[in-house]
Amino acid sequence: MDIKNEVLIRVYIVLITIVILGILLFVQTVRISVFQGEKWRTRGNSLYVERKSVEAERGNIFSDDGSLLATSLPFFEIRFDPNSTGMDPKDFENNIDSLAHCLAMYVDNSYTIGGMLQRLKEEKENGARNILIKRNATYVEKEMMSRFPLFNKGQYGGGFIVNSQPKRERPFRQLAFRTIGYVRDGHNPVGLEGYFNETLAGEDGKKLMFRAPNNTYLPVEDLMEIEPKRGDDIVTTIDINLQDVTHEALLRGLKYHKAKHGTAVLMDVKTGAIKAISNIGKTEQGYFEVYNYAVGAATEPGSTYKLATIMALLEDGYIDLDDSIDIENGKHTFYEEEMLDSSPESFRTDTTTIRRAFEISSNVGMGKLVQQYYGDKKGGDEKFVEQLRDFRLHTMTNVEIKGEAAPYIKTPYSEEDDWSGITLPWMSIGYEVTITPLQLLSFYNAVANGGQMVKPYLVSEIRHFDQTIERFKPTVVKRKIASKKTIEKAKELLIGVVENGTASKLKTSKYKFAGKTGTAQINYRKFRPIKNIKYQASFAGFFPADDPVYSCIVVITEPRENGFYGGEVAGPIFREIADKCYEIKPEFHRAMNEYRKPVLVKNKLPSFDAGEKEDIEEALAYVNLRYENNAETDWTIIRAETDTLSLDNRTISEKVVPNVVGMGLRDAMYILENLDVKVVVGGAGRVRKQSIIPGTPIEGQTIRLTLN
C-alpha cells in the first residue's frame, strides 16, 4: 500500500503540474490574442505587409494660350516575379522559352535568347520575387510587354509587375526654365513648380504591398485602398511666342558681348501680367538658365534709378525740366569724392537744362540737384528717402516665385547702413541702393501706366482638368505713385532719352518707345581706384510711347566685348524684343476698317468714260462704286461730280457723226461702221480724240480716232 500511495501521489503531482501549466498557457494565449492582439498583429504585418504611398499624377503648367510648359509623361518600371504564389508551374514551364525570346529580341538585346532563358530560370530557382526587366519604359513599351507570353496572364498568374514612374517634361526645354522651376528630392523647390507644389502635386494614394526578400515590395492586389488624386493645373501669363523672342534676343546679346549672365522681363503695362521672363547664365557647358536673376538678384542699378531721382525732385516742386544746371564738364567733387560723367557730351558742357542733363545721363547733374535740394537742407535726407518709399522702391513684388531678394534703401544717418556725406548724391545715380530687375520694372511700369502700380504676376488661374477653380485678377498695389503732372514729365524725359539722348541710336521710324539706359560699376570702391572694372548694363522702358502696351527691362552683367554701356549692350536687346512684338502681335496694328473711310475725290474717280449702259453698270457694280443713274439711252457716259458718279445720256443719231470720245475701240468701231463711216485708228486704249466734230452730217467720210 505504501508503494501504491507513493505512486498515486507522484501521479497527482504530475497531473497538477500539467493542469497548472495548461492554465498558464491558456491565460498567456488569451492575454496575447485578446489584450495584446492588435499590437502583435500590427507588428507582424509591418514585417511583411505595408501600406505604401502611390504618387499622384502631377498637374500641368500651361502658357496663356494653352501650350504645355510642363507636364508629367507616363514611364514605367517593369519587373518579373517568377515565384508568384498565383502562378501555375505548368504555365511557367510552357511559356518561359517564348518569354525569354521576346525579352531578348524586343527589350534587352544585351542578352541572347539562351542567356535570357538561363537568367530567368536561375532567378526562379534562387527564389527571386522582383527581377528588374526595364526601367523608364514608355506606355507603348509597357503595353507591348503586357502581351508577351506568361506576362499576358497578369500580376499573379504571370508575375508581370508594373510600377508607374511619371517624369516631368518641358516641351520647350530652356524657355523660362527657372521660372517654371522644379521639385526634386534633396533640393529646395524652384520656380512655379515649387511655389504651387501643393496645388500641382495632388494627393498620394495608398496601396497594400508585400515585402519580399531583399527589401523589395510587391503589390498585394491591383486595387488601391486609397486612389491618388491628380494635381490641379496652373495657367500662366507667359506668351510662348514672346518668351521665345525674349529668350533668343537675350541669348544673342550675351554671346555677342561674352557676358557673365543676363535677364530680360516683358510685362503687360495695364495688368502686370508677365508675358516673358528669361534668365541666362554662362556655364562651362555654355549658356543656360541656371538662376532667376530677375527675381533673386538685387544689385545697384546705376542710371536707370535716375528716373526715381528726377521724379522726387519734380514731385516736391523743386525743379522744372527747362531749368538750368551746371554739370561742370562732367566732373564734381562731393566731400573729397569725385563724381564723373561717362557721356562724351558732358565733357564739353557746362550749363544745360535739367531735361538735357537727364537725356545724356549726367551723374553730376543728378548728384548736384539732390545735394542742393535735399542734402543741404535740414531734414532733406529723410524727405528724399521718403519719396523713394512713396514710389514703392523699398517693397518686394511678391511674385509667385520663392527666393525674391528684398530691395535696400539706406536709412538716413544710420551707422548700421554706413550713411555718409556722399550717400545722398551717390543714391541719386543708382549706387548705395539695391533692387532686383523685376522690382525696378514694376516702377517703370507704373510710370507707363499713368502712375498706377500693379503687382507683377505669373499665374492667371488654377484648373482641375478644364474646370476653373480659382482665377487671379490684376492687383493694384498703389493707385498713384506720383501726381499726373510728374508722371507726364517723367514720360517726356524717357521719350527724350530715346529721341535725343543716350539711346538715340536705337530709335526707329516704325514706332516710338521710351526708356532709360543704365551703366553701373559693380566692383567700385569708395575713395579708391579700381583696376579691371566690371560693369552692369541695363535698359528699362516701355512701348509704344504714346499708348504703352508692354514694359520691359534688360540687365546684362559683366559684358566683356563690344562695349559695356547700357545703350550699346542692353538697349539693342530691348529694341529687338520690341521689334518682334510689333511683328507678331496684332494689337500694335490698327485694323484697316478702324481708319476713317477716305472721301473719294473727283480726280481719283473714272470720268468721261463712255460705253453701252449695261456694260458700264456691270463694271461699276463689280468695283462697288455707287452712282446716280440719269441715263435713259442705251449708251451712256460717266461723269464725276465732286465725290460721286453719275451716268448721263450719250445720244447716238443715224444722220450725224456721233461723239465716241471716252469709248473703247470696240464700241466706237461698232457705232461708226454701222453708220457707214470709215475708221482709221492710231494708238491704244480709249478714244481720246476724233478727227470729225460730233454733229457733222454723215456723207461716207473717213474718221481718224486717236486712242490713249
- Pinpoint the alpha helices (H) of 31-87: 37-48
- SS3 state of residue 638: strand
CA–CA separation, 107 and 607 (whole Å): 82
Tell me if 632 is assigned to some domain.
Answer: yes
User: Above 70 in pLDDT, residue 45?
Assistant: no
* Per-residue cell: 95: 511559356
Q: What is the dihedral of CA 406, 411, 417, 422, to 10 degrees?
A: 120
CA–CA separation, 657 and 687 (whole Å): 15
- Kindly report which listed range (188-202, 365-379, 536-550, 650-664) carries the lowest average pLDDT score: 650-664
pLDDT at position 602 is 47
Are 188 and 257 in the same domain?
no
User: Above 90 in pLDDT, residue 361?
Assistant: yes
Mean pLDDT score, 521-534: 68
Tell me if 111 is assigned to some domain.
Answer: yes
Are 200 and 139 in the same domain?
yes
Rg of the chain's alpha carbons, rounded to an integer?
Answer: 43
Mean pLDDT score, 34-50: 61
Tell me if 593 is assigned to some domain.
Answer: no
Side chain identity at residue 428, one-letter code: S
Are 58 and 179 in the same domain?
yes
Are 200 and 291 in the same domain?
no
Are 367 and 445 in the same domain?
yes
Q: What is the dihedral of CA 394, 395, 401, 405, to 10 degrees?
A: 30
Tell me if 594 is assigned to some domain.
Answer: no
CA neighbor of 675 nearest in space, from 698, 650, 705: 698
Handedness of CA 667, 669, 675, 681 (dihedral sign): positive
| 563-588 burial: b if 16+ Cβ within 10 Å, else e | ebbbbbbbbbbbbbbbbbbbeebeeb
Are 482 and 529 in the same domain?
yes
* Per-residue cell: 439: 522690382
Three-point CA angle 99, 103, 104, nearest 5°: 115
* Per-residue cell: 445: 511700369
Are 620 and 525 in the same domain?
no
Do the Cβ atoms of 294 and 288 come closer than 8 Å? Answer: no
- SS3 state of residue 457: strand
Winning range, highest mean pLDDT, from 54-63, 146-155, 582-591: 146-155
pLDDT band, very low/low/confident/very high, at 186 (cuts 50, 70, 90)? confident
Residue span of the structural domain in which 624 resides: 602-707
User: Above 80 in pLDDT, residue 700?
Assistant: yes
Mean pLDDT score, 509-519: 95
The pairing of strands 274-283 and 286-288 is antiparallel
Mean pLDDT score, 685-697: 86
Backbone angles phi, psi at 75, to 5 degrees: -125, 155
pLDDT band, very low/low/confident/very high, at 527 (cuts 50, 70, 90)? very low
On average, the pLDDT of the chain sits at 87
User: Above 80 in pLDDT, residue 412?
Assistant: yes
Handedness of CA 576, 581, 582, 583 (dihedral sign): positive
User: Above 80 in pLDDT, residue 531?
Assistant: no
CA–CA separation, 650 and 638 (whole Å): 10
Are 406 and 478 in the same domain?
yes
Are 227 and 345 in the same domain?
no
pLDDT at position 316 is 96
Mean pLDDT score, 249-262: 97
* CB atoms near residue 97 (< 10 Å): 15
* Per-residue cell: 130: 522582383
CA–CA separation, 446 and 397 (whole Å): 13
Mean pLDDT score, 218-245: 80
Asked whether the whole model's pTM tops 0.75, one would answer no
Identify the residue with better confidence: 595 or 262: 262
Beta strands per DSSP E along 444-571: 453-454, 459-464, 467-471, 476-478, 514-521, 535-543, 550-557
CA–CA separation, 704 and 688 (whole Å): 11
What is the CATH number for 215? 3.90.1310.10
DSSP assignment of 268-333 equals ETTT-BEEEEEEEEEETTEEE--S-HHHH--B--GGGGHHHHHHHHHHTT---TT-EEE-GGGEEE
pLDDT band, very low/low/confident/very high, at 425 (cuts 50, 70, 90)? very high
Residue 265 bridge partners (DSSP): 277, 553
Are 218 and 325 in the same domain?
no
CA–CA separation, 539 and 373 (whole Å): 27
Tell me if 231 is assigned to some domain.
Answer: yes
CA–CA separation, 37 and 85 (whole Å): 27
Handedness of CA 186, 191, 192, 196 (dihedral sign): positive
pLDDT tens string 577-619: 999 999 988 777 766 556 565 554 445 556 667 778 888 888 8
Are 367 and 281 in the same domain?
yes
pLDDT at position 72 is 86
Asked which of 217, 235, 253 is the last residue of a domain, the reply is 235
Handedness of CA 338, 344, 350, 353 (dihedral sign): negative
Tell me if 259 is assigned to some domain.
Answer: yes
Tell me if 582 is assigned to some domain.
Answer: yes
Identify the residue with better confidence: 598 or 542: 542
Are 120 and 181 in the same domain?
yes
How many domains would you assign to the chain? 4
User: Above 70 in pLDDT, residue 46?
Assistant: no
Winning range, highest mean pLDDT, from 117-131, 371-385, 593-607, 622-636: 371-385
